Amino acid sequence: EAEVAQSPRYKITEKSQAVAFWCDPISGHATLYWYRQILGQGPELLVQFQDESVVDDSQLPKDRFSAERLKGVDSTLKIQPAELGDSAMYLCASAPGRGEYNEQFFGPGTRLTVL
Amino acid sequence: GEDVEQSLFLSVREGDSSVINCTYTDSSSTYLYWYKQEPGAGLQLLTYIFSNMDMKQDQRLTVLLNKKDKHLSLRIADTQTGDSAIYFCARQGYGGSQGNLIFGKGTKLSVKP
């Protein structure tokens, strides 16, 4: 069964360092989402792509976060510099991107700890 | 208040039914969802309901939707220890079916043997 892949699964870094997370969506899925889940909370959208274009990045802290999906397939989320408050689970999801029902499939996430 | 609200904890005995409740403020969502998250894992879609439906049943799961009261519930029949997890209610955000999901804070279900 096709799955969304993410790496690394765990990342520990010191504040002010740069970190990057990678997501490989299910093949053929046009829509890709990055969510951040703080411990004890539900996931919140950071950025949404349709193919290689950003659809919604209104909640992305653009002074330190960047995201790209250059060829409309896999995606990278970067944080520079990392801050203590960035410690969270970063979840990637993909969806077919067409039709009325557009189920989102989630990857296993990357757990970031900033020391 | 929060856009999507859930009670934080629920404890049941194995074999009993579990009912997890959710309320939301925006009635424009086309679909409403229930996701399950096990410790350290991503989210798994359990079931969803279209906004013009009142009820949907899928094996041990029953979803009830009261659009007037903006209330959604998930009933798990014959709850097992393997059902212990965090359950998230979610609604579709802006952008129709392509929109992001807006989640509640999750209900932690504990099943005692």
Residue B51 pLDDT more than 90?
A: no
CB contact at 8 A, B61 and B47? yes
Confidence of residue B42 (pLDDT cuts 50, 70, 90): confident
Torsion of CA B4, B9, B11, B12, to 10 degrees: 0
- Compare all CA atoms of chain B with the CA of A108 and give the residue at the minimum distance: B42
Interface probe for A, chosen from B100, B101, B105, B108 (most Cβ of A below 10 Å), is B100
pLDDT score of B97: 59
B71: part of which helix (H) or strand (E)? strand B71-76
CB contact at 8 A, B55 and B62? yes
Confidence of residue B30 (pLDDT cuts 50, 70, 90): confident
Considering only CB atoms, which chain B residues are within 8 Å of A48? 95, 100
More confident residue, A41 or A97: A41
Confidence of residue B28 (pLDDT cuts 50, 70, 90): confident
Arithmetic mean of pLDDT, B15-34 = 91
Residue B95 pLDDT more than 70?
A: no
CB contact at 8 A, B18 and B108? no
Arithmetic mean of pLDDT, B35-44 = 90
Kindly state the tokens that stand for A95: 């969806």
pLDDT score of B96: 61
Residues A89-113, buried b or exposed e (16+ Cβ, 10 A)? Answer: bbbbbbbbbeeeebebbbbbbbbbe
Residue A12 pLDDT more than 70?
A: yes
% of chain A at pLDDT higher than 70: 98
The tokens 């969304």 sit on which residue? A4
> Do A45 and B106 make contact, defined as CB atoms within 8 angstroms?
no
pLDDT score of A97: 78
pLDDT score of B27: 77
CB contact at 8 A, A78 and A9? no
* Nearest-angstrom CA–CA distance, A77 and A36: 11
% of chain B at pLDDT higher than 90: 73
CB contact at 8 A, B85 and B12? no
pLDDT digit string (tens) for A67-85? Answer: 999 888 999 999 999 999 9
Arithmetic mean of pLDDT, A45-58 = 93
> Do A100 and B97 make contact, defined as CB atoms within 8 angstroms?
yes
**d(CA A6, nearest CA chain B) in Å:** 10
pLDDT digit string (tens) for B52-69? Answer: 899 999 999 999 999 999
What does pLDDT average to over chain A? 94
pLDDT score of A106: 95
Considering only CB atoms, which chain B residues are within 8 Å of A91? 42-43
More confident residue, B28 or A14: A14
SS3 B3: coil
